[in-house]
Amino acid sequence: MSDLERLLSESVPDVGDQAGAAAARLATEASDAGLLDVAYAELDSPVGPLIAASTKRGLVRISFSGVPLDEVLDDLAERISPRVLEAPARLDPVRRELDEYFDGKRTEFDVPLDWSLTRGFRRKVLERTARIPFGEVSTYTEMALAAGSPRAVRAAGSALGSNPLPVIVPCHRVLRTGGGLGGYGGGLEMKSFLLGIEGFDTSGMGPARGDAVRR
């Protein structure tokens, strides 16, 4: 039995109104004991429920509602650490910044990021994507070029499609070279919604139509 499992087994289960306080207390105890490597929380948003997870380095994962919680937690346990625990308070800064973004009150995110779930060319693409300013768009071709492999356009698209930190690493700001929306892990309706928050009218843009416009 791991130290975290032992701490969990020794905790007295609570029900009703006490459950949230008990979970918070357990998360604090685990953190104080150095047993909490990955904290996660479920967040509400205009694009549906999100799962956010962070490490001591920073935010490591955001998942849309289409990905089951168990799948997200299993992936985090396998790729980062099995010491994963729900700890909403640890994700409060992320929650606040996302709320401000969706309310139109924030154009840049300040929360630190943990890039542990991506590496190599994919990481280069996503790090470059993270620098696309609010109100501007780029293309898959430009992302491949910025990552040092101008011919690897499909690979750049794949990197963006597997982005572990959507919205905060704004892969929705990357369009097809011809100006079409391209793809998006959360679906094109969500991509259009996010671009709409940032001042773009995508009503005439299909998956591969029109010219990319920079603001």
- What interhelical angle do 120-129 and 153-161 show, nearest 10? 80
Residue type, 57: R
Catalytic-residue membership of 23: no
- What interhelical angle do 18-32 and 3-10 show, nearest 10? 150
Cα 74 from Cα 60, distance rounded (Å): 14
Q: Are 84 and 77 in contact (CB under 8 A)?
A: yes
- Catalytic residue among 146, 171, 190, 194, which? 171
Residue 32 sits at φ, ψ, to 5 deg, of -65, -30
Residue 50 sits at φ, ψ, to 5 deg, of -120, 150
Which residues are designated catalytic?
A: 171
